[in-house]
Amino acid sequence: MSQSIHQHLIDLSDTNPLLPSNQDYTTPTLPLIPTGPDVVLENPYTEIEIISDDIPIAMNNHSVDEGPNSIVCMFVVLFHVTRGHEIIWSLPEELNLDGVELKAVPSGMHTVERDFIYFRKAGLFGLSCFAKRAISSQEDPDQRGARMMALGILCLSPDHLPPHLTFLSTTIQNLLDAPNDFSFLIDYYNSFAYNPTTNSQQTNQHISNLNLSILSSTTGGHDFARFIQILGPSVFVLWKYLLIQSRVIFFSKPPIGPCCNWVYFSCLLTQSDYAKINPNPHFYVSVADLDILKEENNFIACTTEQILQIKRACYDVFIPLTSSEGEVTGAKINCPGVMIKPILFINNTDINRYRTLMKRCECRGALLDREQLNLTCIQYFREINNQLFSHFSDYSQYESIINPHLLKRAGIDTYGDFTFLRNFCRTYNMKVTLHGESEFSALLCCSPRGSIV
């Protein structure tokens, strides 16, 4: 099959008459688990058979005691009021940790009592727990009334981080009282230290085995289902941006931990059995990471530094979050790039997808605990991803001329998803041709046929 792709020109400026210029993006208020009769629902977009029990789910049941020896490094950061961030202890001592102290204690941490931070350091993934405690001048005259510290680890995969969160968050409180006693840290590190001679693990930048019960219990119940509820139908806008490998940055004032969870949850939107998608999570980033971000083709990250919003060369989508008492309560998706901005508009298919998911949660909510409800949501996105990739892989294999009926079978909105579909096919090197008498044909008015690129 020829892999050449011919671009079909179309005006995608903000004044595109096919798209409303003043659409209200306010997310409809829909309950996550509304009460109602127990009815059986069908996904109106699913045209391929998907057997839920046969699809591997992003879930495992291991506890920290059963997990792999995955800690590559453990470290302690002290914030000194005159010298700044300092790494005062680490194992192994020979590992280069330059810059980790700025990741472990992000900008603005002095405004909160405690927080947790996911981040990335070169090819490793990190988790730190920050805490602050008031102290007297007699305890430490150099610290001006407060001691601020962070305890963190580095692992090969982000999947290995959540099981250690409870230990880190508890132990950092002990370190505030005894900042020079590292004996218990040595014991913990030795228990879970990564050994390259005995471990066959390879660096894994995919979210594959997220233990949702641990993640939820250590973050105030801020779980995947809640993430979907807050976004509403806009979750499918984010989903489309992620599938076309966009560079996404979430912004939040401290605490940044819940925002880091949103990076985690965003990765879960991309799971598929038909395609290997690496969402490339960077978690917490700052202006110090600008050069790295500019070189990335795609990523998902979060920051406490709003100045990144004006650095448009380093992102495609910027999403400020609003929060209350440490919990995310709202989000607004912004996309300054003209060529993919039309994806911002919520279409009828997005609304129907969201309603289908909410009804599925309604039917199963009374029978499932919160963890299983999260898995129901993960399963739904896996299904629609499988559906999309399966159909368009077939269409591309035969270089098909597809009509609006085939687009609907694949779960595509024949009016509102043109920009997404064009970029989706370009991203995964799929060659298909549109043909038909519908709203989609109007988008290709320059030619009776238009290749989606």
- Domains of the chain by residue range: 71-192, 206-338
Computed from CA positions of residues 12, 13, 14, 16, in that sequence, does the dihedral angle turn out positive or negative? negative
pLDDT digits over 11-56, tens only? 222 322 222 333 333 333 333 333 232 322 233 322 222 222 222 2
Q: Which amino acid is at 57?
A: I
**CATH code for the structural domain at 206-338:** 3.40.50
- pLDDT at residue 443 tops 90: no
Which is nearest to 71 in space by CA: 166, 193, 203?
Answer: 193
pTM for the full predicted model: 0.80
pLDDT digits over 265-301, tens only? 999 999 999 988 999 999 999 999 999 999 999 999 9
Q: State what percent of residues in the chain have pLDDT above 70.
A: 73
**Residue 374 contacts residue 216 (beta carbons within 8 Å):** yes
- pLDDT at residue 439 tops 70: no
Task: Give me the phi and psi of 59, to 5 degrees please.
Answer: -160, 140
Distance between CA atoms of residues 340 and 424, nearest Å: 11
Residue with tokens 């998608």: 277
- pLDDT at residue 341 tops 60: yes
Beta strands per DSSP E along 220-262: 247-251
Tokens coding 115: 């927080």
HSE, CB side, 13 Å, CA atoms: give it for residue 385: 24
Which is nearest to 88 in space by CA: 168, 169, 176?
Answer: 176
**Cβ neighbours for 26, distance < 8 A, ≥ 6 positions apart:** none
Beta strands per DSSP E along 35-97: 71-80, 84-91
pLDDT digits over 384-438, tens only? 999 999 999 988 888 778 888 888 889 999 889 999 999 999 999 988 887 654 4
pLDDT digits over 315-336, tens only? 999 999 999 888 899 999 999 9
- pLDDT at residue 240 tops 70: yes
Order of strands, sheet of 84-91, starting from the edge strand that comes earlier in the sequence: 84-91, 71-80, 146-155, 124-134, 114-121, 281-284, 299-303, 247-251, 317-324, 327-331
Distance between CA atoms of residues 216 and 329, nearest Å: 16
Distance between CA atoms of residues 439 and 164, nearest Å: 52
Q: 258: cis peptide before it, omega within 30°?
A: no
Which is nearest to 375 in space by CA: 82, 53, 73?
Answer: 53
- The angle formed by the CA atoms of residues 344, 346 and 351, to the nearest 5 degrees, is 150
**Residue 433 contacts residue 451 (beta carbons within 8 Å):** yes
**Residue 445 contacts residue 19 (beta carbons within 8 Å):** no
Task: Give me the phi and psi of 300, to 5 degrees please.
Answer: -125, 130
HSE, CB side, 13 Å, CA atoms: give it for residue 45: 27
Neighbours of 92 (CB within 10 A): 10
**Residue 116 contacts residue 171 (beta carbons within 8 Å):** no
**Cβ neighbours for 357, distance < 8 A, ≥ 6 positions apart:** 228, 377, 380
